[in-house]
Every structure is written in C-alpha cells, then in structure tokens.
Amino acid sequence: MALALRHSTYMMWRELLALWRQPWWIGVTLMQPIIWLLLFGELFRSVVEIPGFETSSYIDFLVPGVIIMTAFFGASWGGMGMIQDLDRGVTDRLLVSPLARAALVAGKVMQSAVVILIQSLIMIALALIIGASFPGGIDGVLVMLAMAILLGCSVGALSNGLALRIRKEESLIALLSAVQLPLTFISTAFMQKDLIPGWMQTAADFNPLNWAIEASRTAVLEGGDWGFIAARAGLLLAVLLLAGWFALRSVGAYQRSV
Amino acid sequence: MNAIEAEGLVKTYPPDVRALDGVSFSVPEGVIFGLLGPNGAGKSTTVKILTTLSTPDSGSARVAGHDVLREAARVRRAIGVVAQNPGVDGELTGRENLVLQGRIHGLPGPELRRRADQLLEQFGLAEAADRVARGYSGGMKRRLDIAVALVHRPKVLFLDEPTTGLDPEVRVAMWEEISRLAREEGITILLTTHYLEEADELASQLAIVDRGRIVVQGSPEALKGELQGDAVHVELAEPAQNGDANGALDRLAEVHEVMVDGRMVRARVADGARAVPRVMAALESASIPVASVTVSRPSLDDVYLRYTGRAFAEADAEAGRDDDSEEENR
C-alpha cells in the first residue's frame, strides 16, 4: 500500500512534468468554463426573478455548477492520456517494471486532481472579479474544492479504466461525448432543482455530478447543512472506490489481452 | 545455470490465432541469444511472456531463476526490456526518463543520479540529456530506451527488434553497443530479429522461430556447419519446370540435396566450383533453360530454408501480410 502510494506520486510527478511543459493547456481547458460563466451568467440573469429562486444573483448560483462541471469534463478526458501511453508503448514498459499496478491509473488521477485544484482557484478568482459572492465563506469554498476533486478522481479513474478496455481514441471520444452533456443537463448546474421537470429531478437524484453540485452549492451559498454535505460526500466516496476497483480490474483485463 | 528457460509455451489470441505452438529453449548466462524468424513468427509474443507482460495458455518459463507466472515481481526486478514499440516518454527529458525508471526500481537518490549520468554518457546522450525526448532522432530514442532498461543493472536484457527502422550506420553502432554490453558487463541478452545478418553478427546462440515453433537451435557456426559444402543456386527461366530440375539434379552423384522454391533451385554440393559444370550439363540435357547460377558458402538463409522449407525473405513477405492482425492483438 505504501509502495503503491509512493509509485503513484512518481507517476504523478511524470504527468505534472509533462503538464508543466505546456502550461497554456490549463488556459485552453479553461476557455469553455469561462465562456459558460460569462455567457450563461448574462443569458440567465433574469432567472433570479422567478418566484422562489434561492439566490438574488444568478452568478452566485452558477459558480459552483460551473466549477464542478469543469472538474467533471476535464477528468473525463483523462483516459485519452492512457490511450496515448498504450499506443506509444509506455504502458507496456511500465507493466514489465516493478511499478505497482494501481499507480498506473492513480498517477494520472492525482495529476488530474492537481489540475482541477488550479482551475477551480482560477475560476473562483474570476468569479470574484465579475462580482460573485461566497456567503458560505472559506469553509464553503473548501467543501466545493473537495467535491470537485472527489468527483474528478472518480470520473478520471472510470475514464482511464474505459481507456484500458477500449484502446481506441475515436471510440473513447464517442462514448464520453455521449454521456457528458446529458449528465450535465440532468443536473442542477444551471437551474434550481424545483424548477426543472419532475422526471429530471428524479434522474438528477441518481447523478453523481449532481451530488457534487448540490453539496458544493449548499456549502458555498448557505454554509451550514453539514449532514447533507456529508451524505453527498459519502456517496461520492463510494463512487470513487467503485471507479478505482474498476480501473484496477481494467489494468488486469488489458494485460490478459496483450 | 540458465538465465532463461522456456518450456512448451503456447499462446492463442482470439479468435483463433495460434501465436506460439509449444516454444521451448534455454539461454545460458552471459551470452547473446538470438530469436530469429520472419515477422509474425511469434518472437514478440515469446518476449512478452518471458518479460511477464503476457501470460501463456500453457507451458512455463523461468527468467533469472524465477518463475514468470508465480514470481512475476521478482522477474520484473531482474530484467530490462526494450520493446519494439519504444516506451520512451516523449514529454520527459532523457534524464527524467532514466530517473523515473530508477525510482520505480527503488534506487536511492544519490546513486540514481550517478547512474543516470553514467548511462547518458555511455549512450552518447549527455548533451541531449536535458532536452525533451520527443525531439530525439530515432537512433537517440532507441539508445535512451536501452539506457532506461539498464538503469537498475538487470541480469537479463530483452531487446525486441532493436535495430528495426534504424539507418544502416546507426544499426552498426547499435550492434557494437550490444556486443559491448554482453562482453563487458556480463549481461545475458535475448535479442529478437528478422535480420539474418544481425543474428549472424551478434548472437552466439540462436533459435530459428517459424509459425510459433522453434525449428532449430544452436550457434550460427554450428547451424551453418551442418549444411555441408556449398550451395548452388540456379534460377530457372520457367518456374513450371522446377519439378523436372529437381529430378535432373537429384540424379547427380555430387549433389547431396535439392530444394526447389518457385523458380529457385538450390543444390547442396561438396565443392561448388566443381559442381557447376555438371549441374549445367544435367539441366541442359533435360532441356531446362537457366536464367542464372550462383555458388555460395552456407548462410543462415540456407539454414532457414533447410528447416522450414521456404526462403526467409518469402516467409517474411508472406508474414507481413498478416502482420496487421498481430498488431491488433497486442
């Protein structure tokens, strides 16, 4: 276990070095969320006038949604790096070394967690500039960051596991694109829960992306409700364990197919 | 003790590709052992099993004294692997590639730094050490790949097609480096190749692999020595007449053995220079027109032909056509 952790940090170091050489990449991946934030923030400005809307500023409501969504999207592409490693023979070289099998996926997932943290901090700063407020204070923001990382790690592990099984970039892109947007829209990322259609509310209750959004929003807007936040965090942790198990099984499945 | 022992390795890929059909061989410590065969013969699959990347359907193998199935972790610590598909990390510098591999093998920091410097020097990469490996030439990438495989001083080094895709001069330099490793550092090297001259140049022991089986094993000299005398190669004007040519030459007293393959007729004789006039006369009296005649000392190509019944170049070209299917299975 200690060895697996040490090996994972070596692999994270490798991924971060690669990222360090192209720091503009973080900027590129931020373009879309920034557009969401600015454009949707303006577009739906009057949503707050709907009776019963919980905040008086739509930006305040939108920020946790966009931050979680960005973590979700970014991490879900994590498997692409795995396919690149498979194609270039890097994975095979690592598999015939004493590297702990878990580190093969964990290193990538940990790098993705670091990226999510950096991106979220940049977006929080930007949100403050365009006038968002965080009534839940520092605690609320910390919960939001934790939720983004928790969700990102689960999705990253799933994506890497799928990559080890699918092994073709086009197929992985097709699969990911097919689930990303539906999961985003069947959530409360842009709209308060009691204002979306009933069947969507039910579906959203089973959507891990929505669990992370609701927990973050509760923490950021109200602070307080720790029972609710802990329950959501528990569910997300269960998803993470499941995703990690799947990813580890996928390493075995890949090796059996070589 | 043998550095490598493989016993009855069988591997089938779905749906129904029998990549290995009972491969057995052993490699004594400290030698360069060549696995020679055309593309798709099963060389890479053998290496994958011996390096613990893949598992056989049946059979067993020991590398550096450890069982590849039951003691895979020990095998991994004892081996270095340079696969066909170079595993160099293009986003990292040469030095970082070495340091990462060294850390995975648990080398302590100061020793690892010294080892990395030494390998970079040894493989002529000192100047490029802090450049990102993506920009390296093919030869540099291959040298870095070998340096990475050596960072933990393995007992056994696997080189899968180490010179494929390299320029001729780079290939010769690589040959020198490989022989030096075996000579000076006492590493056992298993090398796969589909270049006859590479096996001839480097390997002190070799096994010829064809269609998932080892057809013959021995030193290149011994294998060539078994083919007594010279080879007379006759190229017929009409391939259809190769049966008649076979019959005509078989009747000659000085011809030990005749093999035909398309328009090529190969006769094994004690003394090539003396046999040619007789061979020509025999063909002429049977009214078989001849396009060309050459006489040669036995080569590995003749050894290959002798044991598989087809010429090496043809087997390689033929295998090249199903190569894609093997690629997909990797």
DSSP calls for B215-250: EEEE-HHHHHHHS-SEEEEEEES-GGGHHHHHHHHH
Neighbours of B106 (CB within 10 A): 13
* pLDDT higher than threshold 70 for residue B325: no
The third-level CATH classification (topology) of the domain covering B228-297 is Alpha-Beta Plaits (3.30.70)
Q: Which of B48, B77, B101 sits opposite A258 (nearest CB)?
A: B48
User: Is the distance from CB of B46 to CB of B210 less than 8 angstroms?
Assistant: no
pLDDT at A225: 87
**Residue B122: beta bridge partners?**
none
| Residue B258, token pair as written in the block | 């005749």
User: Is the distance from CB of A128 to CB of A214 less than 8 angstroms?
Assistant: no
Q: Classify domain B2-223 by CATH architecture.
A: 3-Layer(aba) Sandwich (3.40)
Distance CA B291, CA B278 (A): 16
> Distance (Å) from the C-alpha of residue A150 to the closest C-alpha of chain B?
27
* Residues of A with Cβ-Cβ distance to B88 under 8 angstroms: 88, 90
pLDDT at B320: 59
pLDDT in tens, B22-77: 999 999 999 999 999 988 899 999 999 999 999 999 999 999 999 999 999 999 99
> Distance (Å) from the C-alpha of residue A67 to the closest C-alpha of chain B?
28
Report long-range pairs for B142-146 (Cβ below 8 Å, ≥24 apart). B142/B82, B142/B86, B142/B166, B142/B170, B142/B174, B143/B174, B143/B177, B144/B88, B144/B94, B144/B97, B144/B98, B145/B82, B145/B86, B145/B87, B145/B88, B146/B82, B146/B177
Give ∠ CA B78-B178-B183 in degrees, rounded to 5: 80
Nearest to B20 by CA among B46, B39, B54, B51: B46
Average pLDDT taken over every residue of chain A = 94
How is chain A split into domains, by residue range? 25-257
User: Residues of CATH 3.40.50.300 domain(s) within chain B?
Assistant: 2-223
| Residue B206, token pair as written in the block | 């070799």
Distance CA B140, CA B136 (A): 6
| R_g over Cα of chain B | 23
**Helices vs strands, H then E, count in chain B:** 12, 14
pLDDT in tens, B103-162: 999 999 999 999 999 999 999 999 999 999 999 998 899 999 999 999 999 999 999 999
Nearest to B326 by CA among B11, B40, B16: B40
Answer with the residue of higher pLDDT: A258 or A151: A151
| Size of the A and B interface in Cβ pairs below 8 Å | 69
Give the model's confidence band at B324: pLDDT under 50 very low, under 70 low, under 90 confident, else very high: very low
Contact state of A258 with B87 under an 8 Å Cβ cutoff? no
Chain-centre distance of CA B135, in angstroms? 28
Instruction: Check residue B89 and report its DSSP letter.
Output: -
Kindly state whether A18 is in contact with chain B, defined as any CB-CB distance less than 8 angstroms.
yes
pLDDT in tens, B209-252: 999 999 999 999 888 888 778 889 899 998 888 888 888 888 88
pLDDT at B24: 96
User: Residues of CATH 3.30.70.980 domain(s) within chain B?
Assistant: 228-297
Chain A interface, best mutation among B53, B136, B326, by max A CB count within 10 A: B53
Contact state of B103 with A90 under an 8 Å Cβ cutoff? no
Describe the strand order of the beta sheet including B205-210 as a list of residue ranges: B79-82, B156-160, B188-193, B32-36, B205-210, B213-218
